[in-house]
Amino acid sequence: MTEGEFIAALRTLPLHPGARGLTDDGAVVDAGALFVTTDSLVEGVHYLASDPPGDVAWKLVATNLSDLAAKGAGVEGVLLNYPIGDDAWDRAFLAGFGDALRAMGARLIGGDTVSLRGARTLTLTALGSDAAAPVRSGAQGGDALWVTGTIGDAGAGLTIAQGSDGPAELLEAYRRPVPRLAEGRALAPVARAMMDVSDGLLIDAGRMAAASGVAVTVDLDAVPLSDAYRAWGGDARAAATSGDDYELLFALAGGAVPPVAATRVGWFAVGEGLSLIEHGRAVALPSSLGFEHRGS
């Protein structure tokens, strides 16, 4: 596609009014305090060249908006930096990008197009309004640790994407995660700490505890697993150490009940470190708690 064709296609997507039809060098966003986050995906590092372009687009949007969800922010809009150069890929990317914007209620604010040269780098910047959630450092001893949805589906989906057998439902959880935007807004006023589960439940729980200066214990038997994941043969240990779930992990005062569907998976205490309980007994931590270092 040419730059003109690509921008013409972008103009058919939901546009932020500040984008003024993508006719100028920038956009004006007037929404009070803005939460700003940006992520880049590199071909061969964050996704495979053989991955469906529409799914790559979806994930680019979903991972950024999941950061907004974790802040209890509304979705103001997104900016896209995109390398044009492979017609079929560009068109499939745009289709998935439009699907994601519409599904998540996001609007395009602007961006930049460049010529494709070698491995693709895709960058999305998301702006959120009314960020109201606490940061990840507010958990206190006595708080309970909760998580939305189910854990492990995306990790199973990655295995399936790499060639294993398994149901489309799990592959979809990996390729088209849905950020918990509504849940994030409902949780923001009551959570003491909140983050999204991107690298793995255990590693992210440990990070929340470390940032908060308290200890955390996770009960493996409480980790919520989907029927599809159980039927596929997945267990809680694998679920808690795989990534890409994009569920919300949050701390609530002990005894408080969350305003959204969620599962209590552990508790915080005075002290430090991450501990694990399985079948009622303390067990050793697995050698890998999740994605330690993703270069992003």
Residue 130 · residue 32 · CB < 8 Å? yes
Distance CA 220, CA 205 (A): 12
Phi, psi of 68 (to 5 degrees): -70, -40
Span interacting with a copy of itself, options 27-35, 180-188, 216-224, 279-287, rule CB under 8 A: 27-35
Span interacting with a copy of itself, options 22-30, 142-150, 167-175, 227-235, rule CB under 8 A: 22-30
245 assigned to a ligand binding site: no
Residue closer to a copy of itself (CB basis): 126 or 144? 126
* Residues in 184-213 at the binding interface with a copy of itself, rule: CB under 8 A: 195, 211
DSSP code, position 2: -
Residue in 119, 182, 231, 253 binding a copy of itself, rule: CB under 8 A? 119
Distance CA 42, CA 48 (A): 9
38 assigned to a ligand binding site: yes
47 binds a copy of itself (CB under 8 A): no
Buried-state track 259-287, b at ≥16 Cβ within 10 A, e below 16: ebebbbbbbbbeeeebbbbeeeeeeeeee
Residue in 10, 62, 65, 84 binding a copy of itself, rule: CB under 8 A? 84
Residue closer to a copy of itself (CB basis): 57 or 225? 57
Residue closer to a copy of itself (CB basis): 2 or 288? 2
- The two tokens of residue 15 are 């546009």
Residue in 248, 158, 173 with CA at minimum distance from that of residue 204: 248
Binding-site residue positions for substrate: 46, 244, 291
Binding-site residue positions for Mg(2+): 25, 37-39, 67, 112, 196, 199
